Amino acid sequence: MNKKHTNAFAYINQDEYLNVSSSGGAFLGIAKVFFSINKDGRCSAYGACFDENLNVRHERVLTFEGTKRFCGSKYVQSDCLEAYKKAKKDLLEGYNVLFTGTPCQISVLKNTLKSSEVNVEKLLTVDIVCHGTPKAEIWKEYKSYIEQKEGSKLKFFSFRYKPAGWKGYPTFAEFENGKKYINSYKISHFITLFRKDLLIQQGCFNCIFPGHYQSDITIADFWGIEFCLPEIDTKKGVSIMIFHNEQCEEIKKCLSNYAKVMIEMDDDSYLIYNHNLLNKTLKPKEYDDFWQDYKQQGIGFVICKYAGNSLKEKIKFEVIRMLRYTGLLYTVKRMMHKA
């Protein structure tokens, strides 16, 4: 019997790329193939990275090595305005262009190019499944808050520090005074508030893109892999790659040559475990209060009130961190569920 094509793949890149990627290194896999199959022509790639002040913005790079700057999810809206203009210019000059971003960013790019009647034959677009993005201002404010607490400028920050684990969103911060914090309570508030859906922009609750992707390829974390493909070793992260059109056949073939794991899904069961693939994020009950408190009382106040800054919360954070580190978290969760 012929296998049904879902065009959705579980994907794990080679080990050397996994520590810098948020899940299975899907983005780097695609970037590598993009530069290798277009090696006879001029190529540019666009993605989100930190600038020297740790603001998030889209940059243009011209090599596969350059795309490594885009790795790692930054849970902040990336400034794309210059990138749209540059990508359009590149296409007009005959470049092969890889553009990656949130589904709304890909939509804006495509609409801009369409309205200017730019030929998009040489454009490859990749979007990430998107839970929502916080505005740049709140990230800036949080950055200043932890810099003030530390008494030093923040040099580097990771919202998902892979060496400390794929799941659980461990953060990493390095300050100019040389101090480094890995998955520490002191630098965890932003991600805690993001995961409570309090930081994302109001407009994201009306997002029209889940299930209506305009890209060539959509990538996401493969949550639920342990139920869908239990035989796979998932410790270092797994991505989902969904191909939306037939132009991607060559890319798909090359990807499977490079990949450590690339398995096409037999059915749509993976959708159950990733809410934002087909659904928008729901606005939490506390959202309006959070923002009112933030405007009136500032970042320190909302951190205490909504991210939990008490001794009890700090102990809870450390206990969960230890359980995750020792691999006992799921055993404990199962025991508590049964009790």
Ligand X SMILES: Cc1cc2nc3c(=O)[nH]c(=O)nc-3n(C[C@H](O)[C@H](O)[C@H](O)COP(=O)(O)OP(=O)(O)OC[C@H]3O[C@@H](n4cnc5c(N)ncnc54)[C@H](O)[C@@H]3O)c2cc1C
> Residues interacting with ligand X, by CB under 6 A?
21-28, 47-48, 56, 70-76, 78, 100-102, 128-131, 133, 219-221, 239, 274, 276
- For the bound state, the minimum distance from the C-beta of residue 11 to ligand X, rounded and expressed in Å, comes to 8
Q: Is the Cβ of residue 104 or residue 242 nearer to ligand SF4 in the bound state?
A: 104
Cα–Cα distance list, 148 to 144, 305, 310 (Å): 6, 19, 19
Q: Is the Cβ of residue 31 or residue 204 nearer to ligand SF4 in the bound state?
A: 204
- For the bound state, the minimum distance from the C-beta of residue 146 to ligand SF4, rounded and expressed in Å, comes to 24
Q: How far is CA 79 from the centre of its chain?
A: 15
71 binds, options ligand SF4, ligand X, none, Cβ within 5 to 8 A by partner type: ligand X
The residue from 22, 100, 125, 133 that contacts ligand SF4 (CB under 6 A) is 133
Q: Is the Cβ of residue 131 or residue 324 nearer to ligand X in the bound state?
A: 131
- Sole window of 30-38, 50-58, 172-180, 200-208 interacting with ligand SF4 (rule: CB under 6 A): 200-208
Q: Is the Cβ of residue 220 or residue 303 nearer to ligand X in the bound state?
A: 220
154: Cβ–Cβ under 8 A, 6 or more apart, which residues?
54, 143, 146, 147, 173, 174, 175, 176
Contacts of 79-87 spanning 24+ positions with Cβ under 8 A: 79/55, 79/136, 80/105, 80/108, 80/109, 82/57, 82/58, 83/46, 83/57, 83/58, 83/59, 84/108, 84/109, 84/112, 86/44, 86/46, 86/60, 87/44, 87/46, 87/60, 87/123
The residue from 24, 25, 29, 103 that contacts ligand SF4 (CB under 6 A) is 103
- For the bound state, the minimum distance from the C-beta of residue 111 to ligand X, rounded and expressed in Å, comes to 17
Q: Is 265:6 a contact under the CB 8 Å cutoff?
A: yes
94 binds ligand SF4 (CB under 6 A): no
Spatial distance between the Cα atoms of 232 and 305, rounded to a whole number of angstroms:
41
- For the bound state, the minimum distance from the C-beta of residue 216 to ligand SF4, rounded and expressed in Å, comes to 16
Spatial distance between the Cα atoms of 298 and 291, rounded to a whole number of angstroms:
9
- For the bound state, the minimum distance from the C-beta of residue 201 to ligand SF4, rounded and expressed in Å, comes to 6
- For the bound state, the minimum distance from the C-beta of residue 103 to ligand SF4, rounded and expressed in Å, comes to 4
Q: Alpha helices, DSSP H only, in the chain?
A: 15-18, 26-37, 64-67, 81-92, 103-115, 136-150, 189-195, 225-228, 249-258, 275-278, 287-297, 299-302, 311-325, 329-338
207 binds, options ligand SF4, ligand X, none, Cβ within 5 to 8 A by partner type: ligand SF4
The residue from 102, 215, 218, 234 that contacts ligand SF4 (CB under 6 A) is 102
239 binds, options ligand SF4, ligand X, none, Cβ within 5 to 8 A by partner type: ligand X
Which residues contact ligand SF4 (rule: CB under 6 A)? 102-104, 130, 132-133, 203-204, 207, 209
